Structures are given as structure tokens and as C-alpha cells.
Structure 1
Amino acid sequence: MSRAQQQDALSRTALAVFRLNGQFLAVSERLAEPAGLTAAWWQVLGAVLPEPLPVSGIARVMGITRQSVQRIADLLVAQGLAAYEPNPAHRRAKLLAPTPEGRAAVRRIDPGHAELAARMMRELGGQEAFDETVRVLERLSRALDAIEADAPA
């Protein structure tokens, strides 16, 4: 593959991912709105449903800045959808945890989320194709992580 072809492939990949990001944000806003959430609030709550995390941990999982997550976390706490808890591993970095109200809000999204997942699976041609799509996207993300880790500071 020529250098020009490689650059074209990278450009097409980036444009596709940027478009996907916009599409996912738009559909997430539509799904989250009836539950009284925004897509960003849903993302942050979703990150802490399995276990409470510090803001920096949420930012790492989501691939966004700590400051962005901090702003959303503070809004979730102010709305009673999440709470800060002590962090036994770090006195100053509190853990963010969903409240029962936050968990209930996310549960209200579940029917629309399930329907979208089923429709996506059908559009992609079945569960195997859906799983392969996820594997390719995760591989792309790991490749970019490796490239960034090698980049000079």
C-alpha cells in the first residue's frame, strides 16, 4: 500500500469515526431526554453503575478530560443523581457513585436502548457481524492508545 493510500485510509477512518461520534451523540440525546438526562450525564452515570470511580478514572474510561467529567459529576450530584463517597485509596479524590435516583433514571433509558441495540444488530446483519464491528472499533482504539503511548511528550 502506498503512502498516499495509507493517508487516505487514515483520513477516511477519522471522518467515519467523527461522523459516528456525532450520530451516537444525537441518538444518545434522544434516548436520554425522556429520563431527564443528557447524553453526557448518561455516559458518566453509566461509567459508575458497576462501581464507584474517581473522576480521573471516569475520564480515562471515557477518553475525555478530567475537567469535563468533573463538571458533569458536579451537576449530577447537584441534581441528586450521584453522590461523592470517600475513597479509601486516595483521601482527596472522592469516588462518584450513582444514587438510587440516578440508577432509576438510567433504567428508564433501557427500553429505548434495547430497541436501538436490536435494530442495530439487524442493520449490521446479525449478532456475529455486530460483535465483529465492536472488535474492529476496540482494535482501532487500542492501536491509537499504543501510538499515543509512543508519542513524545
Structure 2
Amino acid sequence: MNKTKRNPAGEALTGLILDLFRANSLLLTAGDRLVTSLGLTSARWQILGAIADAERPEPVAWLARNLGANRQNVQRIVNDLARDGLVVFETNPHHRRAQLVVLTDKGRQVYDAAGRLQVPWVNGLSDGLSVKEIEIAHRVLNALRDRLEGAGEG
């Protein structure tokens, strides 16, 4: 039986993907440690960031889409954030059932505090890496993400 073999780029990409899985796990653990004193987890911090960075309030489904995440998981976390007073739900004039998620003042303060903790951490993490190297890695990750997103459409 003939086995299909990866071409050189496929072999290299497989190694990168495996390293990305490990790096993702390590990033989530580090993020959890970084913001635990604020009552956050990496997941809660990520969703707060999506809400804070949005041009306008969005429903959970849009937040999930923008994050490339499962809507039910985002809904669960948004509900936790609302319970803790970090976000509120507002009426959506365009859709009766899909409420908009809005950051509260307390949510903004917690998100800003997380950002202040992140600065020295990320500066230390970037030590020894050039901006050019980081930009190249970013382009590769974006190309990979775009291909994965496009694969779901076909």
C-alpha cells in the first residue's frame, strides 16, 4: 500500500501547527496567571478585549464569529462577565432576541488593568526577537488563518 507523503512545505507546516498547539496552551496558562488577581481567565480577558475593541456593541454571535470561537462558549463566558458586572446586555434595535453586549465602567477598568499587567510581560517575552521576525510570523499565521477560514466556505 502506498502512503501519501507530505511535501516539504506540508512537513514544515505540520511542525509549525504542532508547535502552535503547544504555544497556545502555554499562552493560555500564562494569561490565566497574569490576570487571575483581577478575577479573569485568558478566555474572559479575550472576550472583554473583543467587546472593548469593537467599533460598536455587538451580539454574542458576532463576537464569537470575530474571535473564531464557538457561540455557546462565548455566551457562557459573557453570562459570567455579566454576573460579575463587567458587561451588560442592551436591546438590539436590529434583532429582538440577539441582545448587544456592552462593557460597563467596571469592565473597562478591569480590562485596562489587565492591559497594564500585559505590557511588562509581553515586553519581556519579546526580548531577543526582532520586529521583522515577529511581523513575518504574524503574516504566516494570518495566511494560515485565512486559508482555514476559506476552507469552511467550500
Scaled to the shorter chain, the TM-score interval is 0.7 to 0.9
Q: How does 1:1-153 map to 2 (within 5 A)?
A: 3-5=5-7, 7-50=10-53, 51-124=56-129, 126-150=130-154
User: Partners in 1 of 2:99 and 2:19 — Cα distance?
Assistant: 37
Which residue type is aligned with residue 59 of structure 2? Answer: P
CA-CA distance at 1:106 after TM superposition: 1.1
TM, length-normalised to structure 2 = 0.87
CA-CA distance at 1:96 after TM superposition: 0.7
CA-CA distance at 1:77 after TM superposition: 0.5
**Preserved CA contact (<8 Å) 2:35 2:41:** yes
CA-CA distance at 1:10 after TM superposition: 4.0
CA-CA distance at 1:7 after TM superposition: 4.6
CA-CA distance at 1:38 after TM superposition: 1.2
Percent identity of the aligned residues? 34
Structure 2 unaligned runs (5+)?
Answer: none
Structure 1 unaligned runs (5+)?
Answer: none
User: Partners in 1 of 2:147 and 2:132 — Cα distance?
Assistant: 22
Cα 1:144–1:47 change in 2 (3 A) is: same
Cα RMSD after superposing both structures: 1.8
**Preserved CA contact (<8 Å) 2:35 2:117:** no
TM, length-normalised to structure 1 = 0.87
How many residue pairs are counted as aligned between the two chains?
A: 148
